C-alpha cells in the first residue's frame, strides 16, 4: 500500500501545474548546470536573488499540504522524503529564484491590491471549508518562522513571476494539424482475427530434473527468501479505550434516546406512480373517468403508457423533489388516486400502490450503543490525563504492560510480521490501528527502545515497542521445494506456449499458413473482434494485449499472453479504420486544453533552462535539511 502511495505521490508531484509560492508553471527539474555546496544558511541563490530557510519551509509545507489533501492523510517527513518531495521543492524554489532574478533586472512589480487578493485566495490560509482565516494565516507563518512582511515580499515575487510566465505562454494553443493527428491516433480502431492458444497445447509438463530445479531456484532465490520479521507490542489509547460504559445510567441513555429519536427512526416511504398529461383539462377528464368507475391502469393504457412508464419509484417524503407531488402523494391512502396536481412537469395524477409505515428502533435495541457513545464522549475529556499517566509511568521506568495497567489499557502483541503486515504463514495482521504508519514505524524502530506514540485520527495515540527481530535470510531449496517445482512448471509452460505461438506467428508472417489452417491443425476456433481501440483495457485482450495489437501494422501478426493466465493469443490485424470526423473538435475541450497546457509547460521549461545559462544557480542541501529539521521541533 505504501509503495502504491509513493508512486501516486511521485506522479502527482511530477504533473503538478501549480505550486504555491513558486508560480503557475511546471518544472520537471533543474539542469546539471546548477552548482551545489552553497555556504551559510541560504537555501538557493540565483545571481543576487536568495531563497531563505523560511521561504523554503513555506514552499515545502504548501507542497506537502496539497499532496496530503489529495491522499486524505497527512504525510510524515520520512514519507515526503521517500516520495522525492524534497528534490521537487528544491527544484521549484530554484526555478522561482531564476525568475526572480530576471524580474529584478526587468524592474517588475505588483500592486498591493493584487497581493491582498492572492493571500485571501490561498487555500493554505483557509480553515476547513470556509474562506480566509486570519488566525490560520498567523499560525502558518509562525510555523515556518516567517514574518508578515517577509510573506508579502515573497508573494510579490510570485506575482512578478506570473507576469513573466504569462507573457511567454499565455494564449498558446495546440495547432489544428497537431490536434487532427492526435484525433486520428486516438480514434483509430482495428479488426483482428485471433486464436486463443490454451496451455493444454503444450501439456503435460514433466516434473523438473534435479539440475533444472536447482538452476531455477538459484536464478530466482530472492523470490523464495524469508523476509525480516518483527515481534512487537502496542497499546492503543483512544477515548473508546478508556470509556466507562457502566457509569452511564439507563435514565441518561433514555434521555439521549428521546432527544435524538429521529436518529433511530426510519421514515415512512411510499411507492408512487405518476401519470403526466398535456394539460390540466386532460388530467381532470381522466380523473372524472376514474371517479366514474374506470381504473387507473385503464387510463394509463389509454394514454399509450405502460406500468413502467408511470412508476416514479419508492420515496420518503423528503426524497420527492417536487414539493407539490410530495404533499399530495403522502396525503393519499394506499391504492387511492390523487386530485389533479400541478407538478413541475405539468398536470399529473398520482397513485400510491404501497405504503411502508415509519419504523422506530426500540430503546432496548439501541441502549447499549447509546451508552457506549455517551461513555466515549465523556472519556474524551480524560484522554489527555490518561496519556500523561501512561507517559509518566514509562518515564518512571515502568514496562509497557505496567504503564498500560495503570490506565486500564490492553497490550496487544504481534509475534511475527513482515513489512507487508503478513505473518510467516502468509496470513495478514488485521485491525492494526493507524496500520500504515504503525507498520512503517515498527520497521524503523530499534529493539527494546521506547518510541514516541503515533497520533490517531480521533486525537488518541498508539504506543509501540519492538521486542524481537528475525533477520531476513535466504531459504534453502529443501524448505520450498514443492513451491519451486510448481513455479518451474508454470514458467516452463509459459515459455513453451510462447515458443509455439511464435512459431505459428512466423508461419502466418511468411505466408506458409493461414489462421484458418492453423485453427484446423490445433482444433481451436478462430474468433474475430471488431472495434478494438488503442487505449482500451479490453476484456478479452487486456491493456497489454491491445498495445501488442497496435504495435504492428495492418495485415501483420503477433502474439501476446492472454489475461488471467488463460493461454496465449495469436492474432492477425485484418484492418485499421480511421475515425469519421477526425479533427480538433473530436478531441473535446478538456483534451485540447491539456495539449495546450503541455505545450506551454515545454516552452516555460525551455525558458528556465535558458535563464540557467545566464545566472549561476547554487543549492545548499545541508541548509535545506536544517530548515526542515526546524519544523519538526
Task: Please identify, in words, the CATH class of the domain defined by 2-171+598-631.
Answer: mainly alpha
Tell me phi and psi for residue 317, to 5 degrees: -60, -40
Tell me phi and psi for residue 412, to 5 degrees: -110, 130
Query: Which stretch of DSSP H or E encloses residue 78?
Result: helix 77-82
pLDDT category at 13 given cuts 50, 70, 90 is very low
pLDDT category at 155 given cuts 50, 70, 90 is confident
- Of 13-22, 197-206, 597-606, which range is least confident? 13-22
pLDDT value at 629 more than 50: yes
Sorted by sequence, the CB contacts under 8 Å of residue 77 that are 6+ apart come out as 628, 632
- For the ranges 66-75, 346-355, 455-464, 573-582, the one whose mean pLDDT is highest: 346-355
Instruction: Report CA-CA distances (Å) from 529 to 192, 227, 481, 526, 540.
Output: 5, 45, 43, 10, 9
pLDDT value at 175 more than 50: yes
Instruction: Report CA-CA distances (Å) from 576 to 256, 514, 557.
Output: 69, 19, 13
Place of cell 490518561: 386
- Of 183-187, 270-274, 279-283, 567-571, which range is least confident? 183-187
pLDDT in tens, 612-621: 788 888 888 8
CA–CA gap between residue 229 and residue 365 (Å, rounded): 44
**pLDDT reported for residue 394:** 92
Residue predicted with more confidence, 273 or 110: 273
**pLDDT reported for residue 10:** 40
Tell me the mean pLDDT in the region 281-287.
93
Nine-digit cell at 327? 404533499
**pLDDT reported for residue 325:** 92
CA–CA gap between residue 171 and residue 600 (Å, rounded): 9
In the chain, what percentage of residues exceed pLDDT 70? 91
Tell me the mean pLDDT in the region 508-515.
94
Tell me the mean pLDDT in the region 442-446.
95
CA–CA gap between residue 633 and residue 616 (Å, rounded): 33
Instruction: Report CA-CA distances (Å) from 574 to 241, 242, 530.
Output: 67, 70, 9
**pLDDT reported for residue 275:** 92
pLDDT category at 421 given cuts 50, 70, 90 is very high
pLDDT value at 599 more than 80: yes
pLDDT in tens, 450-467: 999 998 887 789 999 999
CA–CA gap between residue 514 and residue 592 (Å, rounded): 43
pLDDT in tens, 39-93: 457 888 888 888 888 888 888 888 887 787 777 677 777 888 888 888 888 888 8
pTM to 2 decimal places:
0.49
pLDDT category at 128 given cuts 50, 70, 90 is low
Neighbours of 282 (CB within 10 A): 15
Sorted by sequence, the CB contacts under 8 Å of residue 295 that are 6+ apart come out as none
Sorted by sequence, the CB contacts under 8 Å of residue 68 that are 6+ apart come out as 74, 75
Helices (H), 246-361: 250-259, 280-291, 296-302, 307-310, 323-329
**pLDDT reported for residue 14:** 36
Q: Which CATH architecture has domain 268-357?
A: Roll (3.10)
Tell me the mean pLDDT in the region 369-382.
72
- Of 16-20, 446-450, 467-471, 506-510, which range is least confident? 16-20
Burial class (CB in 10 A: 0-12, 13-18, 19+), 59: buried
pLDDT value at 585 more than 80: no
Tell me the mean pLDDT in the region 240-249.
73
C-alpha triplet 327, 328, 334: angle, nearest 5°: 115
CA–CA gap between residue 182 and residue 175 (Å, rounded): 11
Burial 311-350 (b: 16+ CB within 10 A, else e): ebeebeeeebebeebbebbbebeeeebbebbebeeebbbb
CA–CA gap between residue 290 and residue 138 (Å, rounded): 71
User: For residue 492, how far is the Cα from the chain centroid?
Assistant: 37
CA-wise closest residue to 77 among 48, 94, 57, 93:
57
- For the ranges 105-109, 401-405, 618-622, the one whose mean pLDDT is highest: 401-405
CA–CA gap between residue 194 and residue 557 (Å, rounded): 9
CA-wise closest residue to 42 among 616, 626, 614, 629:
626
**pLDDT reported for residue 378:** 64
**pLDDT reported for residue 66:** 79
Residue predicted with more confidence, 531 or 244: 531
Tell me the mean pLDDT in the region 267-283.
92
pLDDT value at 538 more than 50: yes
- Of 7-21, 27-41, 167-181, 345-359, which range is least confident? 7-21
Preceding omega of 390 cis (within 30 degrees of 0): no
**pLDDT reported for residue 25:** 31
pLDDT category at 31 given cuts 50, 70, 90 is very low
- Structural contact between residues 31 and 615, judged by C-beta atoms closer than 8 angstroms: no
Mean pLDDT of the chain: 84
- Of 81-90, 198-207, 552-561, which range is least confident? 81-90
How many Å from the N-terminal Cα to the C-terminal Cα in the chain? 29
**What is the 3 state secondary structure string of 572-593?**
EEEEEECCCCCCHHHHCHHHHH
pLDDT value at 97 more than 50: yes
Tell me the mean pLDDT in the region 549-559.
94
pLDDT in tens, 250-262: 888 888 888 888 8
In the chain, what percentage of residues exceed pLDDT 90? 45
Sorted by sequence, the CB contacts under 8 Å of residue 430 that are 6+ apart come out as none
Amino acid at each position: 500500500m505504501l509503495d502504491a502511495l509513493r508512486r501516486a505521490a511521485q506522479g502527482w508531484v511530477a504533473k503538478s501545474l501549480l505550486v504555491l509560492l513558486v508560480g503557475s508553471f511546471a518544472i520537471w527539474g533543474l539542469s546539471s548546470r546548477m552548482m551545489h555546496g552553497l555556504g551559510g544558511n541560504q537555501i538557493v541563490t540565483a545571481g543576487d536573488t536568495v531563497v531563505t530557510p523560511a521561504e523554503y519551509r513555506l514552499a515545502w509545507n504548501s507542497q506537502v499540504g496539497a499532496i496530503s489533501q489529495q491522499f486524505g492523510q497527512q504525510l510524515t517527513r520520512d514519507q515526503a522524503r521517500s516520495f522525492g518531495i524534497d528534490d521537487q521543492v528544491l527544484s521549484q524554489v530554484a526555478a522561482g529564484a531564476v525568475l526572480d532574478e530576471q524580474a529584478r533586472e526587468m524592474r517588475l512589480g505588483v500592486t498591493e491590491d493584487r497581493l491582498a487578493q492572492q493571500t485571501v485566495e490561498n487555500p493554505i490560509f483557509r480553515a476547513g471549508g470556509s474562506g480566509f482565516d486570519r488566525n490560520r494565516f498567523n499560525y502558518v507563518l509562525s510555523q515556518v518562522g516567517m514574518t508578515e512582511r517577509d510573506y508579502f515580499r515573497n508573494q510579490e515575487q510570485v506575482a512578478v513571476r506570473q507576469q513573466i510566465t504569462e507573457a511567454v505562454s499565455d494564449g498558446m494553443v495546440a495547432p489544428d494539424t497537431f490536434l487532427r493527428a492526435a484525433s486520428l491516433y486516438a480514434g483509430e480502431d482495428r479488426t483482428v482475427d485471433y486464436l486463443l492458444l490454451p496451455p493444454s497445447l503444450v501439456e503435460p509438463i514433466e516434473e523438473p530434473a534435479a539440475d533444472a530445479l536447482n538452476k531455477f531456484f538459484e536464478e530466482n532465490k530472492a523470490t523464495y527468501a524469508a523476509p525480516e520479521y518483527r515481534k512487537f507490542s502496542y497499546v492503543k489509547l483512544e477515548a473508546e479505550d478508556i470509556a466507562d460504559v457502566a457509569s452511564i445510567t439507563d435514565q441518561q441513555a433514555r434521555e439521549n434516546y428521546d432527544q435524538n429519536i429521529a436518529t433511530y427512526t426510519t421514515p415512512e416511504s411510499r411507492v408512487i406512480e405518476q401519470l403526466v398529461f398535456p394539460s390540466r383539462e386532460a388530467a381532470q377528464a381522466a380523473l372524472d373517468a376514474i371517479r366514474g368507475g374506470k381504473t387507473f391502469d385503464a387510463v394509463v393504457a389509454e394514454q399509450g403508457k405502460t406500468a413502467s412508464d408511470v412508476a416514479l419509484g419508492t420515496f420518503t417524503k423528503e426524497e420527492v423533489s417536487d414539493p407539490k407531488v410530495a404533499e399530495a402523494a403522502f396525503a393519499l391512502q394506499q391504492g387511492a388516486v390523487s386530485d389533479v396536481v400541478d407538478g413541475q412537469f405539468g398536470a399529473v395524477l398520482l397513485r400510491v400502490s404501497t405504503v411502508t409505515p415509519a419504523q422506530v428502533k426500540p430503546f432496548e435495541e439501541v441502549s447499549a450503543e447509546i451508552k457506549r457513545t455517551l461513555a466515549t464522549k465523556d472519556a474524551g475529556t480524560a484522554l489527555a490525563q490518561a496519556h500523561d499517566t501512561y507517559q509518566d509511568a514509562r518515564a518512571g521506568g515502568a514496562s509497557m504492560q505496567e504503564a498500560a495497567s495503570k490506565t486500564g489499557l490492553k497490550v496487544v502483541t504481534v509475534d511475527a510480521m513482515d513489512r507487508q503486515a503478513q505473518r510467516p504463514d502468509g496470513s495478514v495482521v488485521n485491525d492494526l490501528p493507524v496500520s500504515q504508519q504503525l507498520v512503517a514505524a515498527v520497521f524503523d524502530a530499534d529493539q527494546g527502545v521506547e518510541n514516541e506514540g503515533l497520533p490517531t485520527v480521533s486525537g488518541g495515540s498508539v504506543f509501540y515497542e519492538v521486542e524481537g527481530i528475525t533477520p531476513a535470510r535466504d531459504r534453502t531449496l529443501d524448505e520450498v521445494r514443492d513451491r519451486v517445482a510448481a513455479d518451474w512448471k508454470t514458467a516452463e509452460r509459459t515459455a513453451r506456449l510462447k515458443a509455439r505461438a511464435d512459431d505459428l506467428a512466423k508461419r502466418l508472417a511468411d505466408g506458409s499458413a493461414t489462421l484458418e489452417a492453423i485453427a484446423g491443425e490445433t482444433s481451436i476456433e478462430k474468433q474475430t473482434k471488431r472495434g478494438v481501440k488503442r487505449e482500451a483495457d479490453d476484456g478479452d485482450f487486456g491493456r497489454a494485449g491491445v498495445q501488442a495489437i497496435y504495435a504492428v501494422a495492418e495485415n501483420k501478426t503477433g502474439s501476446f499472453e492472454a489475461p488471467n493466465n488463460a493461454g496465449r493469443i495469436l492474432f492477425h490485424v485484418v484492418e485499421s479504420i480511421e475515425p469519421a470526423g477526425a479533427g480538433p473538435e473530436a478531441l473535446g475541450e478538456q483534451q485540447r486544453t491539456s495539449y495546450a497546457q503541455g505545450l506551454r509547460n515545454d516552452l516555460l521549461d525551455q525558458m528556465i533552462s535558458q535563464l540557467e545559462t545566464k545566472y549561476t544557480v547554487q543549492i545548499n542541501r545541508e541548509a535545506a535539511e536544517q530548515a526542515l529539521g526546524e519544523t519538526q521541533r
